[in-house]
Amino acid sequence: MITIALPKGALLKDSVELFKKVGLDFSLFLDKGNRQLQITDPTKTARALLVRSKDVPIYVEYGQAQLGVVGYDVLREKKANVANLNDLKFGYCRLSVAVRESSGYKRSQELPPHGRVASTFVNSALEYFHSIDLPVEIVPLSGSVELGPITGMSEAIVDLVSTGKTLRENGLIEIDVLYESTARLVAHPLSYRLNRDNVTDLVTNIAKLIPIPV
């Protein structure tokens, strides 16, 4: 039986709909009254685990799931040993540098050397500022990153942006984009290579559903 790690939060609905199109029904996870974290598809050919988005690649890497759906941002930050199979073309967002609109900064290179940058994405932020040869102190936060510049704790933040509404409402603006992110289908490398439980057939069927760029 194939085990699939599905992410809680913004990617869940699209993930459930994707697997439903290939004959696997995990819609119980969308029921607000459901408290189960593991369910089996009615066909008895697959089960799904409902886990935090940041934990999806961990469950896949350690073999507790053969497949998973996770944002590219998480993959890049976690650096888990998983096979990145397909861009699923949903869940678009971008990882950006943002500052107070009143700060006057127009690009990352204008930030002061050894200044503070608040972020949940510590590794991605460090890599980016190293790539532009700007030494900064990364302040690790797990939520409400926008408060960094607002309170004066940091000159900037590195955070995910979708519509930009949260930034605007807090007087912040984007000045640079590190990378764009969409949902990805990932696999346990050995399970995929050995085609355990016919996992490659499922992957092939999913790939047929992915829109081809015009």
**CA-to-CA distance for 9 and 200, rounded, in angstroms?**
26
Amino acid at 7: P
CA angle 62, 65, 68 (to 5 degrees): 110
Residue 196, pLDDT score: 79
Domains of the chain, start order: 2-91+182-207 (3.40.190.10), 93-181 (3.40.190.10)
Q: What pLDDT, in 10s, does the model give residues 27-48?
A: 999 998 989 999 999 989 999 9
Distances (CA, A) of 8 to 24, 45, 68, 85, 107: 18, 22, 12, 20, 34
Tokens standing for 126? 């460090």
What are the φ and ψ backbone dihedral angles of 118, each rounded to 5 degrees? Answer: -90, 140
Give the other-Cβ count within 10 Å of 147's Cβ.
15
Chain centroid, CA 136 distance in Å: 24
Residue 197, pLDDT score: 79
**DSSP code of residue 62:** T
Residues with Cβ within 8 Å of 17's Cβ and at least 6 positions away in sequence, in order, are none
Q: 125, exposed or middle or buried, with CB in 10 Å at 0-12, 13-18, 19+?
A: buried
Are the beta carbons of 37 and 49 closer than 8 angstroms? Answer: yes
Q: Model-level pTM greater than 0.85?
A: yes
Q: Is the pLDDT of residue 214 over 80?
A: no
